[in-house]
């Protein structure tokens, strides 16, 4: 067969049944991405004779004799196609994994299609941006700007890898191929709870191309936790690489290593496993009851009560909760449920391992290569200097890649065979085996005086950690932020993290605060209704203010500095915005219109130890090399780090060369999560840049005989008094004396500060269908000094969009046997462009006390007030209170039917 790809003809023969996506990637066109393999996400979009197609569902043979164009053929760095330029300059991307497909689709649009983007973009998904940046890119709106020397902070400079992203040259984890690479696939448990009696490998090993079949008997028996924290003791060591007991449907049972993915999958199908099926339990409350099936033995002292499947309990009380309720004029109590939801990052988990010079190398999709290295060294008894772990660009994370769940098996197979090994998750495996958000059931009881002063705040939180305890305790403690946000002399927080026979829960944006925020913020609205008080006013009267103790768990000292009244300002800004009645009009007669608000407070780094080290070196080419271990997966820390360094060194971002996320080339970094990529790593970058700047200035002062206070950085030179000395002269002179302008500095996540958010929605609800349409969305955020305005807006827009998905459409449906029944984008339903309104982002004019250049990270917290604000708006419109997410049309219709006639809300 003759093919023509990007203007070049060649003869080739695809494998029987091979899709065009895998055919093109085998040829090295790695801009063609895998997001779903079902035609749902559009990340693999290419042109056939100029028309966009999803290459994952297009047979390769259909491209014979036709012109195939991939993103690489559209334009190259320095020679961009106009649409690539628009996506660079909007900017129209964050992690960039969907960008090639977005561009290939958008570059074919007619003016009519540009005017109807909800329809034109229905085949392309983005999890990061909230779609506003993509809309701006399609319409040619420019959002980036160039920074003057020393003026990078506060400017919306472009991301360092922008041109590589929009041309498909940016390498993600799986965008490489190594000679002799083997492929690993996993056989998953069909049972929620079972003991393996026997495994017969014979038929699997007979499949042509199969090299190994690994079972629980073939792997190290060291227990570990997949969760990534500097302090591994906060998580239980309750997991094995492969285990004889399986505790959820989808758990790894056998790993098959073969020459091809197809052979490995066939090997998995041929493995014969005999199980002894055990009783299972799926509900957390039932799992705590006497006589419930026991998931774990006392294998780890961390597990509090294995008989009752209780991993962690928290019981804290401040003041006298009974006296507080006795003092109250009004008491509200309600139970609220937040379900299991998935990260749905478009790049699935994956790792590639190989040996080089006797050392194990692991290229992985992780939010923390440093800690992944620590865990692999522990699992395989490797000396740390015999192991390198690094990341290319990562295609989204949101906490889902704060785990070690693909690296271990790839490393195992490479150490065993000496061959390169690739282990890449399918989309179904993401849904059925990767760690979603913890389902939580929270009972909130509030007491207040008639004037609206809180007298008592009590929360009971039951968290379903699933079959294993990764992130179980930390997310439970994080929920205290929902209690901390309000000033109240009497507080009680009881929380339980419980094992069940379901997929292990993990870290997800908002990290343990999203679920309690939904409960507490809905309860505050219900309390306001009982008090006949405006919900915003009730919040204003009770939120913590600078000078108030930030009390959630106890009255002991902590390292949190609360010096800015950002929360009150956020509420005021949202209140003013909602009063303007902005946004879209009601869809028409019969729709019910209502408004809702919610707020949240978030600490700028996790309470456990968080460390980052940055290195800055001025090279002979007069470019500063900045080495920092933080991973870039769309959160924008790479851009912010470059801006901070350029700002302090008096130069432009173009003269900063970034090296990142490689344990051989950077210092230790706990990881890019909990907004610490800016707060902690940003401080390390700031200190390292300052140290290099000071060394250069001191050397220049001695070189010119001018006092150092008369010297200042000037892009590629230093001004000393009335003389400007080129950096080239200083570097050459320093080199001759054996001096190098280089420095390393560390930063820790202490002391910490807080950031605030408030969200407002105006919505329309159809009383017959239960459909919700968002007419207006606004979020105010306290990000303190803004490093990059375009990135801050993009993070908030993306967080709100993700929160809307969690609140309205997404649900990880598990049946009565513990099987997830909707493990694909088509049925799980993350938001499309048509589902997401443009969110007005309001930035508080403030300054942080301890953040780098007085800035704060905001990517984590912006999601927290979204779901309760929507639920509160729904109640305002209809008079019905949905205390369980998601707010689906079916659930809304049912409650409307039960409560008719509707007596509140505005009918238009």
Predicted local distance difference test score (pLDDT) of residue 532: 98
Whole-number percent of the chain with pLDDT over 70: 99
pLDDT in the model for residue 553: 72
pLDDT of 908 higher than 80? no
pLDDT of residue 345: 98
- Residue 482 has what pLDDT? 85
Residues linked to residue 316 through DSSP beta bridges, in sequence order: 493
**Which tens digit of pLDDT belongs to each residue from 594-649?**
999 999 999 988 888 899 999 999 999 999 999 999 999 999 999 999 999 999 99
Q: How far apart are CA 632 and CA 365, in angstroms?
A: 10
pLDDT at 299 over 70: no
| 101 confidence band (pLDDT: 50, 70, 90) | very high
Across 860-881, b (16+ Cβ under 10 Å) vs e yields bbbbbbbbbbbbbbbbbbbbbb
How confident is residue 563, by pLDDT bands cut at 50, 70 and 90?
Answer: confident
- Record the tokens describing residue 156, joined without a space: 């919306």
Give the tens place of pLDDT for each residue, 158-202. Answer: 999 999 999 999 999 999 999 999 999 999 999 999 999 999 999
Determine the pLDDT at residue 904: 44
Residues 6+ apart with CB under 8 A from 771: 765, 889
Residue 498 has pLDDT above 70, yes or no: yes
Closest of 346, 260, 350 to residue 34, by C-alpha: 346
What pLDDT band is residue 906 in, cutting at 50, 70 and 90? very low
Q: Is pLDDT above 50 for 903? A: no
How far apart are the C-alpha atoms of 282 and 427, rounded to whole Å? 23
- For residues 868 and 518, the answer to whether their CB atoms sit within 8 Å is yes
Overall average pLDDT of the 336-352 stretch: 98
Q: What sign does the CA torsion over 172, 174, 177, 180 have?
A: positive
Helix (H) or strand (E) holding 431: helix 427-433
Task: Tell me the per-residue pLDDT of 197-252, one tens digit each, with 9 for 90 and over.
Answer: 999 999 999 999 999 999 999 999 999 999 999 888 899 999 999 999 999 999 99
Q: Report cis status (omega within 30 of 0) of the bond before 91.
A: yes
Please name the residues in contact with 356: beta carbons below 8 A apart, sequence gap of 6 or more: none
Q: What pLDDT is attached to residue 901?
A: 56
What residues form DSSP beta bridges with 314? 495
Average confidence (pLDDT) over 732-737: 96
Q: How far apart are CA 819 and CA 137, in angstroms?
A: 40
Give the model confidence (pLDDT) of 787-823 as tens digits.
999 999 999 999 999 999 999 999 899 999 999 999 9
Rounded to 10 degrees, the C-alpha dihedral 66/72/74/78 comes to -150
For the stretch 423-465, pLDDT in tens is 999 999 999 999 999 999 999 999 999 999 999 999 999 999 9
Closest CA to 370 of 537, 687, 566, 613: 613
Is the predicted pLDDT of residue 8 greater than 50, yes or no?
Answer: yes
pLDDT tens digit string along 568-601?
999 999 999 999 989 999 999 999 999 999 999 9
Q: Where are the alpha helices (DSSP H) in 252-381?
A: 261-270, 284-288, 321-327, 369-379
Return all residues near 316 (Cβ < 8 A) that are at least 6 apart.
Answer: 480, 491, 492, 493, 494, 552, 553, 554
């Amino acid at each position: 067969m003759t093919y023509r790809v990007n203007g070049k003809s060649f003869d080739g023969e695809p494998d029987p049944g091979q899709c065009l996506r895998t055919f093109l990637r085998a040829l090295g066109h790695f801009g063609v991405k895998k997001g779903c393999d079902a035609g749902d996400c559009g990340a693999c979009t290419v042109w056939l004779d100029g028309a966009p197609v999803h290459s994952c569902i297009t047979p390769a043979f259909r491209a014979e004799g036709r012109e195939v164009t991939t993103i690489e053929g559209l334009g190259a760095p320095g020679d961009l196609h106009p649409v690539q330029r628009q996506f660079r300059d909007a900017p129209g991307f964050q992690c960039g994994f969907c960008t090639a497909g977005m561009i290939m689709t958008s570059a074919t649009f007619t003016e009519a299609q540009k005017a109807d983007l909800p329809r034109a973009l229905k085949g392309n998904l983005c999890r990061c941006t909230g779609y506003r940046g993509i809309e701006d890119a399609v319409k040619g709106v420019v959002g980036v700007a160039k920074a003057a020397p020393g003026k990078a902070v506060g400017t919306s400079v472009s991301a360092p890898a922008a041109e590589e992203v929009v041309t498909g040259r940016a390498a993600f984890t799986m965008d490489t191929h190594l000679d002799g690479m083997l492929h690993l696939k996993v056989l998953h448990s069909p049972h929620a709870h079972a003991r393996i009696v026997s495994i017969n490998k014979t038929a699997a090993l007979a499949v042509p191309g199969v090299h190994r079949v690994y079972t629980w008997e073939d792997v190290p028996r060291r227990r570990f936790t997949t969760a990534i924290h500097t302090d591994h003791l906060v998580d239980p060591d309750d997991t094995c690489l492969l285990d004889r007991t399986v505790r959820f449907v989808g758990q790894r049972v056998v790993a098959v290593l073969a020459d091809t993915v197809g052979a490995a999958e066939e090997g998995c199908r041929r493995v014969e496993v005999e199980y002894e099926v055990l009783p299972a339990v799926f509900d957390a409350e039932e799992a705590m009851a006497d006589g419930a099936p026991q998931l774990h033995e006392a294998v780890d002292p961390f597990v509090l009560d294995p008989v009752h499947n209780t991993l962690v309990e928290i019981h804290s009380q401040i003041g006298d909760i009974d006296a507080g309720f006795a003092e109250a004029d009004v008491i509200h109590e309600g139970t609220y449920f937040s379900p299991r939801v998935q990260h749905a990052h478009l790049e699935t988990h994956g790792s590639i391992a190989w040996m080089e010079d006797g050392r194990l190398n692991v290229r992985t999709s992780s939010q923390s290569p440093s800690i992944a290295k620590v865990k692999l060294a522990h699992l395989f008894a490797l000396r740390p200097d015999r192991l390198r772990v690094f990341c290319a660009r990562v295609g989204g994370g949101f906490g889902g890649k704060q785990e070690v769940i693909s690296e271990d098996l790839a490393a195992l197979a490479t150490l065993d065979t000496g061959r390169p090994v690739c282990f890449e998750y399918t989309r179904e495996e993401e849904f059925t085996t990767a760690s979603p958000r913890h389902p939580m059931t929270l009972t909130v009881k509030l007491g207040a005086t008639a004037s609206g002063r809180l007298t008592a705040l009590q929360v009971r939180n039951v968290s379903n950690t699933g079959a294993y305890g990764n992130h179980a305790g930390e997310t439970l403690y994080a929920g205290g932020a929902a209690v901390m946000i309000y000033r109240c002399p009497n507080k009680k927080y009881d929380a339980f993290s419980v094992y069940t026979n379901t997929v292990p829960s993990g870290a997800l944006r908002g990290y343990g605060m999203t679920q309690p925020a939904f409960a507490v913020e809905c309860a505050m609205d219900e309390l306001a209704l009982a008090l006949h008080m405006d919900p915003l006013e009730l919040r204003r009267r009770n939120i913590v203010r600078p000078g108030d103790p930030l009390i959630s768990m106890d009255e002991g000292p902590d390292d949190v500095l609360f010096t800015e009244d950002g929360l009150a300002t956020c509420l005021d800004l949202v209140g003013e915005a909602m009063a303007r009645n902005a946004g879209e009009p009601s869809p028409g007669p019969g729709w019910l219109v209502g408004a809702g608000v919610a707020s949240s407070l978030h600490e700028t780094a996790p309470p456990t130890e968080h460390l980052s080290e940055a290195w800055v070196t001025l090279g002979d080419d007069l470019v500063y090399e900045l080495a920092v271990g933080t991973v870039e997966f769309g959160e924008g820390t790479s851009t912010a780090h470059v801006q901070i360094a350029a700002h302090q060194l008096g130069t432009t971002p173009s003269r900063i060369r970034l090296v990142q996320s490689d344990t051989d080339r950077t210092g230790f970094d706990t990881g890019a999560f909990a907004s610490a990529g800016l707060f902690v790593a940003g401080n390390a970058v700031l200190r390292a840049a300052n140290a290099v700047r000071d060394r250069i200035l001191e050397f220049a002062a001695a070189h010119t005989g001018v006092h150092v206070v008369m010297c200042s950085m000037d892009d590629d030179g230093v001004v000393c008094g009335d003389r400007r000395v080129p950096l080239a002269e200083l570097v050459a002179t320093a080199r001759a004396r054996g001096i190098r302008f280089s420095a390393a500095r560390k930063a820790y996540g202490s002391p910490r500060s807080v950031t605030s958010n408030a969200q407002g929605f105006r919505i329309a609800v159809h009383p017959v269908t239960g459909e919700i349409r968002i007419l207006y969305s606004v979020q105010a955020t306290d990000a303190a000094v803004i490093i990059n305005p375009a990135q801050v807006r993009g993070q908030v827009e993306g967080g709100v969009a993700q929160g809307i998905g969690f609140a309205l459409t997404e649900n990880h449906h598990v049946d009565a046997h513990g099987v997830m029944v909707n493990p694909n984008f088509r049925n799980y339903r993350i938001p499309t462009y048509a589902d997401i309104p443009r969110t007005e982002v309001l930035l508080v004019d403030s300054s942080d006390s301890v953040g780098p250049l007085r800035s704060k990270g905001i990517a984590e917290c912006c999601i927290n007030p979204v779901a309760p604000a929507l639920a509160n708006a729904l109640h305002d419109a209809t008079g019905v209170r949905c205390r369980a997410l998601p707010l689906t049309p079916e659930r809304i219709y049912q409650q409307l039917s039960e409560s008719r006639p509707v007596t509140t809300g505005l009918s238009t």
